[in-house]
Amino acid sequence: MIDRYLIPPLHRLLNKPGQWIAARSITANQVTLIGFIIGMLALPLLAVGAFELGLIAILFNRIADGLDGAVARCTEATDAGGFLDIVLDFIFYQAVVVGFILNSPHEHLLPGLFLMLSFVGTGTSFLAFAVQASKRGVDNPHYPNKSMYYMGGLAEGFETFAVFIVLCLLPQHFGIIAWLFGGVCWVTTTTRIWAGFKTLKAYE
């Protein structure tokens, strides 16, 4: 919901670190992969109840997710890099939820599965529209630096990150938080389907 407002100042903040990394011949794809590998450590850490360490892994992943774009802007942004970034992001999001489910399967299974299903809704509606929008040259004024058309909504990157932080700080409330945020994600999915269909219909 607020990604469009955060992205410009974040770009300015990360430009210098991105330049420093790029000057050392580290590629954007390497930053993406390193961030993903460390971020995936959140799954076993959360599963065993090491929520503070899991939060550190999540924070590292999200910082790397911003830095890979900064490095790409200093060198060359590619479709392959954009593809790698978005695919690994969605795997990481699911992995965090799996970590919480494994921590307490009896209590977390149903709300966790609901949250994962909601991520499927937001992710597929986002990606399916991006493919069709690219084919038709649909403009994306709010996210001009994204490698693909980025549909907004109530639940975007910042909101998901914020919920992960809250879950790590208040793991005993995983169930209610997962149910609530899953509902927010379904509102996002519904509005994306409606807006996407309406937009593409106008291009027929």
- Give the CATH number of the domain where residue 12 resides: 1.20.120.1760
The one-letter code for the residue type at 136 is: R
Percentage of the chain exceeding pLDDT 70: 90
CB neighbours of 72 closer than 8 A, spacing ≥ 6?
28, 78, 81
- Cα–Cα distance between 191 and 125 in angstroms, integer? 10
**Residue 61 structural domain:** 3-202
Residue 161 predicted with pLDDT over 60: yes
pLDDT score for 139 = 61
pLDDT score for 179 = 98
- Cα–Cα distance between 165 and 114 in angstroms, integer? 19
pLDDT score for 146 = 45
Q: What is the overall mean pLDDT for the chain?
A: 88
HSE toward the beta carbon, residue 22, CA cutoff 13 A: 18
Residue 109 predicted with pLDDT over 90: yes
Cα–Cα nearest to 8, from 80, 74, 70, 72: 70
How many separate domains does the chain show? 1
Q: Are 61 and 39 in contact (CB under 8 A)?
A: yes
pLDDT score for 13 = 83
